A = this chain, B = another copy of it.
Amino acid sequence: MEWINKQNVLIVGLGLMGGSYAKALKRIGCRVTAIDKSEETIKFAIENDIIDDGTFKEDISEFVKEADCIILALYPNAAIEWVRNNVKDIKEGIRITDVTGVKSCIVYEIQDILGDKAEFIAAHPMAGKETSGVESADDRIFRDANYIVVPTDKNTEEAILWCENLGQILGFNKVSILSPEEHDEMIAYVSQLTHCIAVSLMTCKDNEHLKDYTGDSFRDLTRIARINENMWSELFHVNKESLLREMDLFINEITGLRNLIADDNTEAIKEKMRLSTKRRSKFNTK
């Protein structure tokens, strides 16, 4: 269990996710350092004992060179860019993982850049919160959530196990394995499409005068309509093909339901509702 050794873990990007990783890893005895562009973030994290050391300065080579493993907690394009700029300083043979919500667009490219120097094993911690920043960091967000390891053919068994073990150490409820393509199709449906729906439900109609009348259904469906536009527009862009496929499935389906209602085809409407009820009852109801 090498995670329990006092190894140096470098977290790149100290937001909600990076900060939550830091808290969990410090607790088990890792030495945690971090790189972030914000001076305030690094100072806050050191003062609050979230990290042992870190820098907001341009020259980060000292931190990169001493890292025994690296966690990329950046947006997808920034993660690729960071590896490209820092590969020269990365210690030989270490493992690098990430937290990004899309995989095909970054995994292969990062593995190509690293070559034989270090092993990149991708992971997606499916946890979050409506607030962001290291001030919101809290590793309890992992408790009910899923952690997905996303290996390619280039990954070793040891790195896959190491990454699964990280998910367990962080306290995730369930750790599983998917290919980058399976992952991206799944995430397009269960996460990206749902965000598109929530946004469209809010933007399709001026609804301020309705806020006194909304019940749980409307509030549940639009909770995620408060959205970080920089992160999500990038996530949509880098997973565009999968997302468009899922959006077309959904738009086609709801247009079909609209036409059944217009045609008073009650039996077909009920059939859809029965299928929906049957499928939903297999999900946990939380």
Interface residues of A (CB under 8 A from B): 126-128, 130, 145-146, 148, 174, 176, 178, 186, 189-191, 193-205, 207-208, 210-215, 217-227, 229-230, 232-233, 236-237, 240, 243-244, 246-255, 257-258, 261-262, 264, 266, 269-270, 272-277, 279-286
Contact = CB atoms under 8 A, between A and B. Distances in A.
B202 A280 contact: yes
Contacts of A246: 205
Contacts of A195: 217
A232 B274 CA distance: 11
A243 to B, nearest CB: 6
Given A148-B213, A210-B186, A252-B204, A221 B194 contact: yes
A218 B191 contact: yes
A172 to B, nearest CB: 12
B240 A208 contact: no
Contacts of A254: 196-197, 200, 204, 247, 250-251
A233 to B, nearest CB: 5
A44 to B, nearest CB: 25
Nearest to A178: B213
A205 B276 CA distance: 10
A248 B237 contact: no
A136 to B, nearest CB: 15
A213 B127 CA distance: 11
Contacts of A196: 254, 257-258, 261
A229 B194 contact: no
Nearest to A261: B236
B261 A199 contact: no
Given A258-B247, A275-B203, A224 B217 contact: yes
A286 B203 CA distance: 20
Nearest to A253: B204
A86 B217 CA distance: 35
Nearest to A206: B279
Nearest to A240: B261
A202 B249 CA distance: 11
Contacts of A217: 190-191, 194-195, 198, 223-224
Contacts of A284: 211, 219
Given A222-B280, A250-B200, A258-B244, A266 B190 contact: no
Nearest to A234: B266
Which of A128, A240, A250, A254 has the most CB atoms of chain B within a 10 A radius of its CB?
Answer: A254
Given A197-B197, A261-B247, A214 B190 contact: yes
A196 to B, nearest CB: 6
B272 A222 contact: no
B204 A249 contact: yes
A236 B261 CA distance: 7
